[in-house]
Amino acid sequence: MKILGIETSCDETAASIVEDGRKIISNVVASSSDLHKKTGGIIPEIAAREQLRCIIPVIEEALGQKINKKDPDIEAIAVTSGPGLIGSLLIGVETAKTLAYIFKKPIIPVNHLQGHLYANFLSKEKPLFPALGLVVSGGHTDLVLILDHQKIKWLGGTRDDAAGECFDKCARLLGLGYPGGPAISQEAQKFDKKEKIITLPRPMINTDNFDFSFSGLKTAVLDKIRKLKEKDKFNKEIIQELAFEIQEAICDVLVKKTIKATEKYEVKSLLLAGGVTANPRLREKIRKEIGTKVNLFIPPPSLCTDNAAYIAAHAFFNFKPKPWSKIQADSSLSIEEMIK
């Protein structure tokens, strides 16, 4: 079964065709991140206007044809209905509903956060349940237990900033631009570890739960920068060291809690998902710590960040079409919520 996936929850406009939930036929992503670089972050109104401009060309590129020419070779349409920025979500949802109506295809609304986890099904090997999922993106940090498709239990998450948000905000403090995750990662690679003197806190690393907190780390970075500036020591090398230590601190907390959860719940697979899991240091650290009992799945970096292939994959494995007139964008869906 070929499904057209559509994803517009944040600043990307994405469309993809996936066959039987595993095989990517096409995967097109247009990002307005260059526009947001100028402002140091996403301005929702600007993101939505850009999505309105490019949604049809992106879908046509994924389909390999103009929409008004002939019926496309797809059996269903999947669309992210939440969570996300409401203006952005509406563009994807309303476009998908219109296409479903015109082409008389079933339409499946998809929870974006659950969708991220299904990037791990776009591989040769299929994850076995029970699985543990770590979803770390710009707006979310969640640990979930996946007992089966449609059976997701939330174990814990961030109490304040998301891990990606912490990368983005710290990068801004360091003057490294947007998006902050890749910028920090690049600076961190330039740092010579032998010279290391700066240490930052690892918030909540030893707490007896699966919650996270990243806003204190951002405050600690702000405080360090202020003191370094007072001593006229805020230079290129210090920025590299701070980038390195920020990345270490975020990754250490994510890895420790994730490994603890895999042990407690005796899962068969660990699924990493979300933009932050594109981070090479996080991937390296988790590979080192995971051990042999659990099968580790990490999508290729291009499938970690927002795209529509995992939306189509989620719809295949959780095939629950809904009448188009009943589908609504919901900006505040939680990761556990199944769309009925």
DSSP letter assigned to residue 212: B
Task: Please report the sign of the dihedral spanned by the C-alpha atoms of residue 167, residue 280, residue 236, residue 191.
Answer: positive
Residue 10 in the binding site for ligand KG4 (CB under 6 A): yes
Residue 307 in the binding site for Zn ion (CB under 5 A): no
Residue 139 in the binding site for ligand KG4 (CB under 6 A): yes
Quick one: which of 291, 267, 272, 290 has its CA closest to 131?
A: 267
Residue 88 in the binding site for ligand KG4 (CB under 6 A): no
Site residues (CB under 5 A) for Zn ion, limited to 130-159: 137
Q: Which does 5 bind (CB under 5 to 8 A by kind): Zn ion, ligand KG4, none?
A: none
Residue 274 in the binding site for ligand KG4 (CB under 6 A): yes
* Count of residues near ligand KG4 by CB under 6 A: 19
The CB-nearest residue to ligand KG4 is 181
Sole binder of ligand KG4 in the list 276, 303, 315, 333 (CB under 6 A): 276
Per DSSP, which regions of the chain are E strands? 2-7, 12-19, 23-31, 76-82, 107-111, 131-136, 141-148, 151-157, 269-273, 295-297
Strands 2-7 and 107-111: unpaired
Sole binder of ligand KG4 in the list 21, 62, 131, 167 (CB under 6 A): 167
Distance CA 205, CA 52 (A): 42
Residue 115 in the binding site for ligand KG4 (CB under 6 A): no
Distance CA 333, CA 114 (A): 10
Comparison of 239 and 312: residue with beta carbon closer to Zn ion: 312
Backbone angles phi, psi at 135, to 5 degrees: -110, 115
Sole binder of Zn ion in the list 11, 50, 165, 306 (CB under 5 A): 306
Q: How far is the CB of 279 from Zn ion (least distance, A)?
A: 14
Please state whether the peptide bond connecting residue 72 to the residue before it is cis, i.e. omega within 30 degrees of 0.
no
Give the interface with ligand KG4 as residue ranges (CB under 6 A): 10, 137-139, 164, 167-168, 179-182, 185, 274-276, 278-279, 305-306
